[in-house]
Amino acid sequence: MANQLLLCGAARHELTYQEAKLLHLFAGNLTNCSNAATSCSRFGPTKRILVGRSVDVFVSRLRKLLRDDPSVRIVAVHGVGYRLEVGG
């Protein structure tokens, strides 16, 4: 990913490759849920392989970065995965 900068309000956050890729995945699938297995498979060839609860850790980090903007949140969908919600 060429641009790994997240602008949230007045804050600027430099994202890791994995965080940027996951946020991009969520943003491209606003109407669908992404499960951990799907998320990992869509990361493509990287030097680091996401396993186990790695996606949960990256989601936790992204949630912290997005907390200043109440209109954007990542929600857990029980038994399915995660979904990015934007708006009211």
Rounded to whole angstroms, the Cα distance separating 19 from 21 reads: 5
Domain spans of the chain, in order of start: 5-86
To the nearest 5 percent, what fractions of the chain are helix, strand and coil? Answer: 35, 25, 40
User: Class of the 5-86 domain?
Assistant: mainly alpha
Q: Tokens standing for 54?
A: 């790695």
pTM of the model: 0.74
* Strands 11-14 and 5-8, sheet pairing: antiparallel
**pLDDT per 10-residue tile (average), the chain, 88 residues:** 78 90 84 57 50 82 91 86 83
- pLDDT recorded at residue 47: 44
- pLDDT recorded at residue 77: 84
Q: Tokens standing for 17?
A: 């490759």
